[in-house]
Chains A and B, each alone.
Chain A
Amino acid sequence: MDLEEQDAIRRVAESGARERMLVLLGTPTAGSTLMTALTLSQGDPSYAGPLAGIPLGLPSYHILEDGVREAIPPDVYDREIGPLEFVLDKAGIVTALEKVRTGTPSS
């Protein structure tokens, strides 16, 4: 996540109603999913960006997670996501998010 985007998201999160906010990711790999989810929950782990030391506490979900898919009308999901569901590393992405949620991102 680049520095400008970190700053933009910080401003949105701090604008209020954070308890109703969540992040919906379309990241392509387990690594990018892990880094983005960590940054938006605990702060920038690289300590390079505006979110360094700023834990926004935003929960992250990926569009490929079964629990997300079930919430979306099937025709919309098929049209918008379609075959990408089978191209991206769904298992790795789901595992990465589980690590963030359980607080074990380095394991």
Chain B
Amino acid sequence: MVDLRNKLVLALGERDGIPGQALQACAESAGARVVYVATQCFV
């Protein structure tokens, strides 16, 4: 298991995959601090 507690997480989502905000919610629920979040969009 990846220990996310007290980690500083850069959450890089993608519009065609999983959005950054969803990654942020997951990481924070596991005890991480999110220091950067983005959802890339390639069109």
Contacts and interface: CB of A to CB of B under 8 A. Distances in A.
Interface of A: 1-2, 5, 8-9, 12-13, 17, 20-29, 32, 36, 40, 58, 61, 63, 65, 67-68, 70-73, 76-77, 79-81, 84, 88
Ranked 7 nearest A-B pairs via Cβ: A26-B18, A28-B17, A26-B13, A80-B22, A76-B29, A70-B1, A28-B16
A63 B29 contact: no
Contact of B26 (A23, A36, A72): A72
Contacts of A9: 10, 36
A73 B12 CA distance: 20
Given A1-B40, A67-B1, A68-B2, A24 B35 contact: no
Interface of B: 1-4, 6-14, 16-20, 22-23, 25-27, 29-30, 35-36, 38-40
Instruction: Tell me whether chain A's interface is mostly helix, strand or loop, or mixed.
Output: mixed
A80 B29 CA distance: 11
Given A26-B18, A80-B22, A84-B17, A65 B2 contact: yes
B20 to A, nearest CB: 7
Contacts of B40: 1-2, 5
A40 B27 CA distance: 19
A67 B36 CA distance: 21
A73 B7 CA distance: 16
